[in-house]
Amino acid sequence: MSSTTSKGEQARNQLIAAALAQFGEYGLHATTRDIAAQAGQNIAAIPYYFGSKEDLYLACAQWIADFIGEQFRAYVQAAEALLGETEPDKAAVRELIHQACRNMVMLLTHDDTLNLSKFISREQLSPTHAYQLVHDQVIAPMHGLLTRLIAAYTGCDASDTRTIVHTHALLGEILAFRLGRETILLRTGWAHFDNQTTDLIYQVITCHIDLILNGLTRSEA
């Protein structure tokens, strides 16, 4: 029985990996035949494990939500604990902001997450209920936590639309290295992202974060 379960889980994982690649490239125009072929599975496996193509699409969204949630679980727990204090230590707040951005830089310069980014990028530009699933489960809570951390450091109001936009703009700097990947590779002459280039990107992002934090703190003083 455990062997059957293991094979079933393996088949599901293979189908989701293939579906992420196909949906990321073609959206819902991707065919179940191509998904099954890329997964090395019989086409009948899709209705067997997921129901319909639309259900598989939602399963991909759920996989992304679970993946992001797991990658940032320690950060979320630390942020919630710190923000629960009466007077959060500013140095600790800054460190958590840096940590969250470092995690994002690492994820968004790694080839293994490219299909995930393609899927989410399509959903950002042409959202379906699949995006709402990911947004509600992980993106909104994490965006909110980062906004609260920035507010805790700078003295800004976390509910102020300007603070939310500042947070989003900061995240946009990191996303540019995924969405504008080809531009930065050609401009720098890098063949690809590696440990050295990723570290340089993080150093630059950290510099920008501190400029933003210090600038907002002075403007609020």
pLDDT, tens only, 75-134: 999 999 999 999 999 999 999 999 999 999 999 999 999 999 999 999 999 999 999 999
Question: Which residues make Cβ contacts (< 8 Å) with residue 30, sequence separation at least 6?
Answer: 19, 22, 23, 53
pLDDT tops 60 at residue 3: no
Domain regions of the chain by residue span: 1-51, 60-220
Per the CB < 8 A criterion, the answer to whether 117 and 46 are in contact is no
Q: Give the mean model confidence (pLDDT) for residues 48-77.
A: 96
For the chain, give the percent of residues with pLDDT over 70: 96
| Class of domain 1-51 as given by CATH | mainly alpha
Per-residue confidence (pLDDT) for residue 211, from 0 to 100: 95
* Neighbour-count burial of 115, counting CB atoms closer than 10 A to its CB (0-12 exposed, 13-18 middle, 19+ buried): buried
For the chain, give the percent of residues with pLDDT over 90: 95
Residue 220 vs residue 210, higher pLDDT? 210
For domain 60-220, give the CATH number.
Answer: 1.10.357.10
Same fold, 1-51 and 60-220: no
Interatomic CA distance for residues 196 and 218, integer angstroms: 33
Interatomic CA distance for residues 69 and 67, integer angstroms: 5
Per the CB < 8 A criterion, the answer to whether 114 and 23 are in contact is no
